[in-house]
Structure 1
Amino acid sequence: METWLLIFLSLSLCAIVNLLLNKKHKKQLPPGPPAVPIFGNLLWFRRSFTDLEPLLRDLHARYGPIVTLRIGSRPSIFISDRRLAHKALVEHGAAFADRPAPLPLTRFLTCNQHNITSAPYGSLWRLLRRNLMSETLHSSRVKLFAPARQWVLRILTAKLHAHASEKSGAAVMESFQFAMFCLLVLMCFGEKLDEESIRAIEAALRDLLLYSRQLRIFNFAPVISKHLFRNRWNKAVEMQRRLKEIFLPLIRARLEQKLKKKETEERFVHSYVDSLLDVELPEEGKRKLTEDEINVLCSEFLNAGTDTTSTALQWIMAELVKHQEVQAKLLEEIEKVVDKEAEEVKEEDLQRMPYNKAVVMEGLRRHPPAHFVLPHAVTEEMTIEGYTIPKDAMVNFLVAEIGWDEEVWEDPLEFKPERFLEGGAGEGVDITGTREIKMMPFGVGRRICPGLGLAMLHLEYFVANLVREFEWKSADGKEVDLAEKVEFTVVMKNPLRARVIPRRNSCN
């Protein structure tokens, strides 16, 4: 009897120890600095969240390629290794395709997550993304907007010609942003609006985007904070109302044109709004999108396509000012492909310009507009490299660090487009990361930026035409400053000022 009792107790003890060990192993988060409940990591008492990127470099050097930070009570996991990123985002793509639980502010700004960026991984996200990809970003649709790109190129070159005589240089970023915004507005609403109308949309969107930083307080006890900060809340509501008042006439005009088309078969330019007016939500009784939901999707389309592209364009042109030999080599390629009398570098010409593409790729590798992707979350608890990724954790990937990996790129902080030509480390690089990840400026996996193809086209098209039209030199012989700062994207701390000297006028 005593023997059986001893055996029973021994087995029970083993089972308890095994359970505890398994539980401990199962819940082992990636390593990170000391933390306390509610407040998070102790280092936040002496470091600012704006120092996140240099802080993560230090932590990855100390703890390895996957670390945990606690910003408040929620764990945030950061991955800096390209192989781990591929394992998570491609090999286990579906599991890592969710978004973290939304904060109250996110719900307010996105009409309860009715946009592609914030929607959880599921049927709504698939429907909205499929609509964007098939109806607006499909190659056949993108070709329809070739005249729009020509129109915007004329706007941009005219603005730059107006500054051609300034030896102190032109501040070109504003012109880049306005040109990209003109193009995206036309693609969104199908209308060539005048400059005043475009500026009004641009200002309303940017004001709300910048002001949203002051709204983070409403993530904490929103019922109370709305009363304590009533003026701040009312201003945000007023900003949304202002944007809606601008968008609604444009949306309703497209609806009226669609109805006319059905009656009279009149043809008109396709727009993103046209596709949104046709969307039905099958899981909600096949209802149409509300006007508020269409507003949110239009805002997403304009914000996502403007700042990222104009930021990347500024970085690339800054490098061409800094590296005159690269600019000269690019011009030589352009002049071999494009007839001297041609009005522009056409989109079909770009296919015969490998160096132009290499310049764009190197610009995106060296200066990705976003140094992190938008936060991911796992659909269920996962294990990677022996560490637990909890369902409530935010998971992020260091885009810039992955593109600067010394294991892949020699002198990674140098600007060398030749890397992407035959024999270079970037020859045939898969920017989608499907086979392997060497750089990921558009993200990777299920949540990869749907506008990847459009962004590459716009960058190649505008870089080639701007170099053909103008000689780009530093202002008053000053060195280009490549210091960075974080805004909506990672921009130049000291925006590019460049002397833009017309080439073709001097030839005629």
Structure 2
Amino acid sequence: MELWLLIFLSVTLATLLLLLLDREVKIRRLPPGPPSVPILGNLLWLRRSLREIEDILRELHARYGPVVTLHIGSRATIFILDRTIAHKALVEHGAAFSDRPAQLPAVRFLSASQHNISTAAYGPIWRLLRRNLSSEILHHSRIKLYAGGRSWVLGVLFQHLRSQADAHHGVVVAMESFQFAMFCLLVLMCFGEKLDEKAIKNVEEAQRSLLLYSRKLSVLAFVPSISRHIFRNRLKTVLEMRERQGQLYLPLIEARKEYKQQQPPNEKERFVYSYVDSLLEIELPEEGGRKLSDDEMTVLCSEFLNAGTDTTSTALQWIMANLVKHQDIQEKLRDEIDGVTDGRDEEEIKEEDLQSMPYLKAVILEGLRRHPPGHFVLSHAVTEDVDLCGYLMPKGTAVNFCVAEMNWDGKVWEEPMEFKPERFLSGGGGAAVDITGSREIKMMPFGVGRRICPGLGLAMLHLEYFVANLVREFEWKRVEGEEVDMTEKLEFTVVMKNPLRARIIPRRRKI
């Protein structure tokens, strides 16, 4: 009996030693980073905040190289700042880097236990949800269905800008109008209805308040078992916001169910297909073929509105700010627009006209390169141990890719911090840039690889359409005595610290 006990203890001890040894070997092979202590993470968090992450990474990049490990609480997180290494990870080892980190148990309700496209694990549920979005809503044939919606929203945007200008001697704070207009459009695409202004404002407020407040939950990454009790009031507040969101969304979802069931046969041609319509048809084969729950539907609608509203309106503001700052670029763009429309005095520039405007596309690409709305893509997670450029990426480790650093790489872009659309024209250094990054990463505003943003095409269309029409409708000038302040501030996206104020002068008669 004593012999068996001795053997059992010996085997147990040997196993523990091997596990500890294996863990130590993996830790030593991780990319370098600043000193850390167990549970708490890096010592630098005692004097620095996660809000300073970009400045911290630039300092660490200079000290440790293009791949850096930070310990945020007990979790190791790897940051990749080099475009070549990013390409190896996201394209050459694409399958291994396509997962998402597991969310903290305390906040999993925000994603319906990761049952949405942005947070779902790399597997059947993610494939089903992404395929549904790509084929049912974002396919070019579907996008054409919303041409009337875009025209309606353009009118809403012009009306908001004119009202502001009339009330403030021609001066507008453009971002307010941009956000509202984009939200109108995405609500239409999501729920299939043109809601009145009050209803849209209610949905927008619920959406943005939850989005911005949920950033306060980042403190839960530090010793989660303790911090979730210390910050329980924050969790309570977010839960209440989430419930409020559901109260607004579920009646719209129910209305869509009834509309589909009661729709007369002769009304089908007038039926505008919506994202909710596609979600109502989904069945989850991995979970017994069940339909999506109300909570999952709400989360997916919230994700759809977030992805298409904040990022696009942010990019639109940065682009228009640069057109205000660089009047020569605005005039060159205006000349191209006049040449394509040939003096036609129609209400709007049609989407087919956009295909003949290379300088417009260059302005949009330069805006996304110089001012990417997100300076990081959503965190990836490694599905298996991967050796990447001599460093071990352990299974399950979170990996982040620094979009802004790659967009501003001086080895690729001449004067990378300057706004120069010409670089994307024939003969320019960026003329042949593939923003999907499949061949080479020179910029990655939409991410790269299997988790690339599925809305890339829609976002480009919206930016081209609204920028072209805004420049055609108004001359955008600086407010007298003010400079355009390009200082950044992090909200959900990286926005202008001081929102763009501009003087707009109508270029055409009102029709």
Relative to the length of structure 1, the TM-score reads: 0.92
User: Contact 1:105 / 1:219 at 8 angstroms: preserved in 2?
Assistant: no
1:23-102 equivalences in 2 (<5 Å) = 24=25, 27-102=28-103
Taking a change above 3 Å as real, the CA distance of residues 229 and 57 of structure 1, as seen in their structure-2 partners, is: closer
User: Contact 2:31 / 2:391 at 8 angstroms: preserved in 1?
Assistant: yes
Partner Cα separation in structure 2 for residue 482 and residue 194 of structure 1: 34
Partner Cα separation in structure 2 for residue 22 and residue 378 of structure 1: 16
User: Contact 1:312 / 1:367 at 8 angstroms: preserved in 2?
Assistant: yes
Query: Is 1:273 matched with 2:276?
Result: yes
Taking a change above 3 Å as real, the CA distance of residues 342 and 134 of structure 1, as seen in their structure-2 partners, is: same
More deviation, 141-150/332-341? 332-341
Q: Which amino acid aligns with 2:488?
A: E
Q: Which amino acid aligns with 2:143?
A: V
Secondary structure at the counterpart of residue 156 of structure 2: helix
- Deviation of 1:67 after TM superposition, in Å, equals 1.0
Query: Is 1:137 matched with 2:138?
Result: yes
1:55-454 equivalences in 2 (<5 Å) = 55-165=56-166, 166-167=168-169, 169-216=171-218, 231-261=233-263, 266-267=268-269, 268-340=271-343, 341-454=345-458
Taking a change above 3 Å as real, the CA distance of residues 39 and 465 of structure 1, as seen in their structure-2 partners, is: same
Partner Cα separation in structure 2 for residue 252 and residue 223 of structure 1: 38
- Deviation of 1:349 after TM superposition, in Å, equals 0.2
Q: Which amino acid aligns with 2:391?
A: Y
- Deviation of 1:29 after TM superposition, in Å, equals 0.6
Q: Which amino acid aligns with 1:81?
A: D
Taking a change above 3 Å as real, the CA distance of residues 352 and 72 of structure 1, as seen in their structure-2 partners, is: same
Structure 2: where are the runs of 5+ without partners? 1-20
Partner Cα separation in structure 1 for residue 157 and residue 442 of structure 2: 33
1:463-478 equivalences in 2 (<5 Å) = 463-478=467-482
Partner Cα separation in structure 1 for residue 227 and residue 75 of structure 2: 21
Taking a change above 3 Å as real, the CA distance of residues 436 and 227 of structure 1, as seen in their structure-2 partners, is: closer
Partner Cα separation in structure 1 for residue 274 and residue 306 of structure 2: 16
Structure 1: where are the runs of 5+ without partners? 1-19
Q: Which amino acid aligns with 2:334?
A: L
Taking a change above 3 Å as real, the CA distance of residues 136 and 81 of structure 1, as seen in their structure-2 partners, is: same
- Deviation of 1:406 after TM superposition, in Å, equals 0.7
Partner Cα separation in structure 1 for residue 266 and residue 468 of structure 2: 41
Secondary structure at the counterpart of residue 380 of structure 2: coil
- Deviation of 1:38 after TM superposition, in Å, equals 1.5
- Deviation of 1:51 after TM superposition, in Å, equals 1.2
Tell me the number of residue pairs that the alignment of Structure 1 and Structure 2 aligns. 490
Partner Cα separation in structure 1 for residue 342 and residue 136 of structure 2: 34
Partner Cα separation in structure 1 for residue 264 and residue 59 of structure 2: 61
User: Contact 2:73 / 2:223 at 8 angstroms: preserved in 1?
Assistant: no
Q: Which amino acid aligns with 2:274?
A: S
Secondary structure at the counterpart of residue 76 of structure 1: strand
Secondary structure at the counterpart of residue 55 of structure 1: helix
User: Contact 1:431 / 1:437 at 8 angstroms: preserved in 2?
Assistant: yes
Partner Cα separation in structure 2 for residue 172 and residue 191 of structure 1: 25
More deviation, 386-395/300-309? 386-395
Cα deviation code 1:301-327 (max 9, x no counterpart): 001110000000000000000000000
Taking a change above 3 Å as real, the CA distance of residues 283 and 379 of structure 1, as seen in their structure-2 partners, is: same
Alignment partner, residue 11 of structure 1: none
Taking a change above 3 Å as real, the CA distance of residues 214 and 401 of structure 1, as seen in their structure-2 partners, is: closer
- Deviation of 1:212 after TM superposition, in Å, equals 1.6
Secondary structure at the counterpart of residue 388 of structure 1: strand
Taking a change above 3 Å as real, the CA distance of residues 44 and 229 of structure 1, as seen in their structure-2 partners, is: closer
User: Contact 1:99 / 1:120 at 8 angstroms: preserved in 2?
Assistant: yes
**% of aligned pairs identical?**
67
More deviation, 406-415/33-42? 33-42
Cα deviation code 1:257-279 (max 9, x no counterpart): 22234877634110000000000
More deviation, 354-363/336-345? 336-345
Taking a change above 3 Å as real, the CA distance of residues 314 and 22 of structure 1, as seen in their structure-2 partners, is: closer
Taking a change above 3 Å as real, the CA distance of residues 22 and 248 of structure 1, as seen in their structure-2 partners, is: closer
Query: RMSD in angstroms over aligned alpha carbons?
Result: 2.3
Q: Which amino acid aligns with 1:113?
A: Q
User: Contact 1:136 / 1:142 at 8 angstroms: preserved in 2?
Assistant: yes
- Deviation of 1:24 after TM superposition, in Å, equals 3.8
Partner Cα separation in structure 2 for residue 232 and residue 426 of structure 1: 45
Taking a change above 3 Å as real, the CA distance of residues 158 and 262 of structure 1, as seen in their structure-2 partners, is: closer
- Deviation of 1:170 after TM superposition, in Å, equals 1.0
Q: Which amino acid aligns with 1:448?
A: I
1:473-488 equivalences in 2 (<5 Å) = 473-488=477-492
- Deviation of 1:407 after TM superposition, in Å, equals 0.8
Partner Cα separation in structure 1 for residue 437 and residue 454 of structure 2: 14
- Deviation of 1:21 after TM superposition, in Å, equals 11
Q: Which amino acid aligns with 1:407?
A: K
- Deviation of 1:216 after TM superposition, in Å, equals 4.6
Partner Cα separation in structure 2 for residue 83 and residue 108 of structure 1: 36
Relative to the length of structure 2, the TM-score reads: 0.91
Taking a change above 3 Å as real, the CA distance of residues 205 and 116 of structure 1, as seen in their structure-2 partners, is: same
User: Contact 1:105 / 1:215 at 8 angstroms: preserved in 2?
Assistant: no
More deviation, 371-380/37-46? 37-46
Secondary structure at the counterpart of residue 476 of structure 1: coil
More deviation, 202-211/189-198? 202-211
Query: Is 1:505 matched with 2:509?
Result: yes
Taking a change above 3 Å as real, the CA distance of residues 477 and 391 of structure 1, as seen in their structure-2 partners, is: same
User: Contact 1:82 / 1:437 at 8 angstroms: preserved in 2?
Assistant: yes
- Deviation of 1:23 after TM superposition, in Å, equals 7.9
- Deviation of 1:393 after TM superposition, in Å, equals 1.8
User: Contact 1:86 / 1:433 at 8 angstroms: preserved in 2?
Assistant: yes
